[in-house]
Amino acid sequence: MISLGCDHGGYELKEAIKKSLEEKEIEYKDHGTYSKESVDYPQFALAVAESVAKGKSESGIICCGTGIGVSIVANKVPGVRAAVVGDVFSARATKEHNNANVVCLGARVIGEGLALLIVEEWLNAEFQGGRHQDRIDLIKKIEEQYSKR
């Protein structure tokens, strides 16, 4: 299951991603927004990030104008590793090395064709573990340190 979310800037791209996932018979849940009407991206990014962090979905894709705002929000949620991706090499690398469980796309930065290729590459790539897992464990330690009140 893949969680999808967007703001108004990413709405059309999210719809294109939905169509592409349907063609591949990949299950998804759409957390909105559901139109091009202006909205605040944090709530939609949070819905996707929480769904991934709670294990309700394996991964998430969030679209906004740049991909940046939604990535900042998603990375506040412990357990989420969200990457803004604008090229196919990074799409593969962020799964292989960072085990990114959320990809953030900038609809005003990249075209639909590239965005769909990025999603495909990221979904098909596999985490390589080993030294990369050690680094993710270090990220987790930082998260835990800053989660203490």
Q: What is the largest CA-CA distance in the chain?
A: 46
Cβ-proximal residue to ligand RB5, closest one: 69
List, in order, residues 6 or more apart from 103 with CB less than 8 Å away. Answer: 59, 60, 61, 62, 82, 83, 85, 91, 94, 118, 119, 122
Stretch that binds ligand RB5, among 21-29, 66-74, 96-104, 128-136 (CB under 6 A): 66-74
User: Does residue 33 have a cis bond before it (omega within 30 degrees)?
Assistant: yes
Integer Cα distance of 93 and 15 in angstroms: 25
Binders of ligand RB5: how many residues, by CB under 6 A?
8
Selected catalytic residue, list 6, 63, 64, 104: 64
Integer Cα distance of 37 and 144 in angstroms: 37
CB of 37 to ligand RB5, least distance (A): 12
Residue 7 is a binding residue for ligand RB5 (CB under 6 A): yes
- Cα atoms in the 13 Å half-sphere on the side-chain side of 148: 5
Quick note: the x/- pattern for ligand RB5 over 27-46, rule CB under 6 A, is: --------------x-----
Interface positions, 86-105, toward ligand RB5 (CB under 6 A): none
Selected catalytic residue, list 63, 97, 104, 132: 97
- Scanning the structure block, which residue is given the tokens 């987790």? 140
Binding residues for ligand RB5, rule: CB under 6 A, are 7, 9, 41, 64-66, 68-69
Residues classed as catalytic: 64, 97
Annotated binding site for D-ribulose 5-phosphate: 7-8, 65-69, 98, 108, 131, 135
